[in-house]
Chains A and B, each alone.
Chain A
Amino acid sequence: MRRRWAAALLLGVPTVFLLALFVVPLLSMVVLSFWRTENYHIVQEWNVGNYVTLATGGAYVTFLIRSLVMAGVVSLVSILIAWPVSYAIILYGGRYRLLLTLAFAVPFLTGEVLRVIALQGLLGPLGLINAVLMALGSAPLRFIMYTNVASAIGLVYLYLPIVVTVIYLSLLNFDARLIDAAKIFGASPLRAFVEVTWPLNLFGTLIGFALCFIPCLSATLAPRFLGGPNGTLYGMAMAQQFGESGTWALGAAMGVVLFLTSIVAVLLVGMRVNLRRTGFTGLGRG
């Protein structure tokens, strides 16, 4: 009886928490997305006008596609960087492993705005990189001045620590002696990686991908400070609906679109993966 109470308490608290702070706001957003706003007032009148606008009007589809590409590229680049970095920490970190992983959290000690602005100071026309280049008599790098590349660099910089941490944890739980076993049975180091290391860390890599992809999809700060005229992303446009334009209902509809897009993206990736083939044992016996 006491155990049942404990279970109810331990599972009940997070359930209430999630319902109150996640599901209810989400539902209210869905409701709002089917109303409309007029002159900074919410009009409670059911319609699908917001979704029609998003599907046909303005550059919203462009923004969404750009956001998807941006989030995809940023996540892939982050994973490409995070893998060797995490692997190196596991292999050579020795007793400094924990310290090195904690070092990745250092940027989080300042705020996101501050980090993006610092990056602006580095990449911009008068930033450190181009100032040095010009002082040396070379032409400035135009592709990092208020472009989508600059946005991508900023997003990689913002979310890389998370991806590294997730892949590091995955590798930490990975029994590296399986690599020895693969080598003994005839696999070259590269083959051992393909046969054993990669599939057994695929699950962790996908979590890293999702944790980078989803926030990138709704990124607002990096494109705003680094992106320039052609750099508007969906999340940034959405934030404007709630700010300057005061078209909250349209913003809510954009939020719903983002939410559904994220879910579809995660499902698409998730369905292609057989958890068993990643050594995931949480499925139990049988």
Chain B
Amino acid sequence: MYITLDGVSRQYGSIWAVDRVTMGIGKNEFVSLLGPSGSGKTTLLRIIAGLEKPTTGRVLIDGEDVTDLPPHKRGVAMVFQEFLLFPHRTVHENLAFPLRMMKLPAAEIAERVAWVVGILSLGGLEKRYPNQLSGGQQQRVALGRGLVGRPKALLLDEPLANLDRELRQEMEVEIRRHQTALGIPFIYVTHNQEEALSMSDRIAVVRKGRIEDFAARTDIYDRPRTAFIAQFVGRSNRFEGVVEAGGQGIATRCGAALSLPAALPPGREVQLFVKNEKLRLEPDDGAGAGPNRLPCTVKDVILRGAYADYILAFGDRELNASRPRSERAFLAGEAVIARLEPGDIDLFDTDGERPS
């Protein structure tokens, strides 16, 4: 592995902000650290950067133990959420900064800055100061400053959080493209699951300082390993219930009958998640409730463009379904049947783990 974290922990007072994290990141990998705010993902990134020292554990970059190395000797670069461009330096000087610190000859500095200005379309802005740029331009300069020194790894700390949605999606594509072109690992911290899903090869879900799971992005989304991931990644309907006699079905607390993909011991308390887009909607045929058939009333329809979010009333609880607009549309007040397949259910014990 190109970057290795070996039992890395960081303690603040009595709190472990990062707790025994062990992970390996490949040379060509785009990895996201995804977690809610305060989960320790930024601390983890700062430990890799050398801005924080781990209380215990080791950090290895390119085979070298850098645990005790200060940030300026690690050869990694970083893009910050607040950009942190040097306000007293022009765009050109900001981009040249890492190269000047590397003591490169002036000709090479000029050449490399020109290269990065080119790939990030910053032409014509070189003489401006950061406060004369728009947010998107500042972001590109920050990214350029990160790439210009050809670092061993680029660390990105919520770099798109301060941009508006359209610009963000544009930048997602661009960042991924630069990563592929440069062939260095990008480690991307975010609380935004869409960003993590759209760019990453692998996603590490961080919770309370621990890595909840570190897996390919499709696995994180389609086969969440814990209830926390099921809840945090994607949007889901959560059910609680008890396995019925026979072990094939579940009676949920809200009164639905669901059939299971695999048998479980009867009487066991479980929690289940069904992603919003897995709930299929059909017009009510009058046949009533059945296994995996939940008669609902449409309470509200939220138009999202390519798809529509339905808020459904099932008994006295709400369900959420997300359907493409190419399907039959339903109106508020309509009676519908929400259907799901046994394979669509993510099932966990009450402690959040997959039942063994």
Contacts and interface: CB of A to CB of B under 8 A. Distances in A.
B98 interface: yes
Given A180-B51, A187-B101, A277 B88 contact: yes
Interface string A181-205: 1111111110110011001100000
Interface residues of A, number: 26
A182 B70 CA distance: 12
Contacts of A199: 88
B188 to A, nearest CB: 16
B230 interface: no
Interface in B29-80: 49-51, 70-72, 76-78, 80
Interface string A93-133: 00000000000000000000000000000000000000000
A276 interface: yes
A200 B82 contact: no
A185 B145 contact: yes
A183 B74 CA distance: 10
Given A184-B71, A185-B98, A279-B87, A286 B132 contact: yes
Contacts, number: 68
B307 interface: no
Secondary structure call for the B interface: mixed
Interface residues on B, range: 20 to 34
Nearest to B97: A185
Nearest to B129: A276
Given A199-B88, A276-B88, A279-B87, A183 B72 contact: yes
B332 interface: no
19 contacts: A175-B82, A178-B87, A180-B51, A180-B84, A181-B80, A181-B84, A184-B51, A184-B71, A184-B76, A185-B77, A185-B98, A187-B101, A188-B70, A189-B70, A192-B72, A195-B86, A200-B87, A278-B88, A279-B88
Given A185-B98, A196-B86, A277-B88, 9 more contacts: A177-B80, A181-B86, A183-B50, A184-B49, A184-B50, A184-B51, A187-B72, A195-B97, A286-B132
> 6 tightest A-B contacts by CB?
A186-B101, A279-B87, A279-B88, A185-B98, A181-B84, A183-B71
Interface of A: 175, 177-178, 180-189, 191-192, 195-196, 199-200, 276-279, 281, 285-286
